[in-house]
Structure 1
Amino acid sequence: MKIYTLKSKQKLPITLEQAWDFFSDPMNLNTITPDDMGFKTLSGADRKMYPGQVIQYIVTPLLGIPMKWVTEITHVIDKEYFVDEQRFGPYALWHHKHFFKEIPGGVEMEDIVDYKLPMGVLGQLMHPVLVRPRLEQIFAYRTQKLVELFGEYKSE
């Protein structure tokens, strides 16, 4: 059983409160997801995040095949971190931790995603060719979109 990890950090020139307000609203996930993902929220995103919240989406992660993705927000500490876990969807395991930390002149956000692919050895063979590059592309898009929305962080 191979579990992969993807890590990402980004600094933005906004307050911790602004960052939390944006990321704790599940509807903003649409804004920071590439259009070619065919991302559409179906239900569960009508209020700010809370533990136990179940959110249903349609996504087209690979090869243009739409699928339902159901996540649960399992942990929330206000303005510190939250965790979303896939309940149904394209991965055998998806555990995504989002951390927020106030820094001089802004906020640092850190994502740690632990994931496992379905289909055993076939899934492992697809990882370096299709899955990992796609995830990196999605996170790169998000990084750029957040700079467009909030500006570029400049260290003091």
Structure 2
Amino acid sequence: MYQLKRTQFVKASLEECWEFFSSPKNLQTITPPYMGFHIQTEVPEKMYEGLMVSYTVTPLLKIPMQWVTEIKYVHDKKFFVDEQRMGPYKMWHHEHHFKEVEGGVEMTDIVSYLLPMGPLGKLVHPWLVKPKLEEIFEYRFQKVEELFNQK
């Protein structure tokens, strides 16, 4: 199993931060445009446990893939977890944590994942999957900086 962990300070109130990140509609805003991210299902303004979200992404070679995630756990203004139900990973578990700190919010993402295709998945991880995930989360970091921290 692989894990990616990122922490970022967000210059916003806990309420403002939670409102933005707990809305599935804002995911497209913090996803790189080249990913071709499009939500396929109607989503509410606020997520809830059991919410299934279907979207398409084009992570490699402009080949669209369907990805379905379920909002598995929600603890208001503290954390939520989404898990892949259908998609490119053998397993995807993404924790989103929010902690009020002086001057804003400390936001932590922890993504635990397994790749399909056994040894082939292990072979491509260091030069394809890991760098792509790091690039996506770096884009997200920069976008959050632009949206919240440059005010």
TM class by shorter-chain length? over 0.9
Within a 5 Å distance, the mapping from 1:29-44 to structure 2 comes to 29-44=27-42
Deviation at 1:151, TM superposition (A): 1.5
CA-based RMSD of the aligned residues comes to 1.1
Do structure 1's residue 105 and structure 2's residue 92 form an aligned pair? Answer: no
Deviation at 1:63, TM superposition (A): 2.5
Equivalent position of 1:134 in the other structure:
132
Structure 1 unaligned spans of 5+: none
Matched-pair contact (CA < 8 Å) for 1:92–1:118: yes
1:63 alignment partner AA: L
Secondary structure of 2:107's partner? strand
Matches of 1:132 and 1:87, distance apart in 2: 21
After superposing on structure 2, the runs of 4+ consecutive aligned residues of structure 1 that deviate more than 2 Å are none
Within a 5 Å distance, the mapping from 1:1-156 to structure 2 comes to 3-152=1-150
1:29 alignment partner AA: L
Matches of 1:102 and 1:63, distance apart in 2: 40
Deviation at 1:81, TM superposition (A): 0.2
Matches of 2:82 and 2:24, distance apart in 1: 11
Q: How many residues align?
A: 151
Identity of aligned residues (%): 59
Matches of 2:42 and 2:116, distance apart in 1: 26
TM-score by length of 1: 0.94
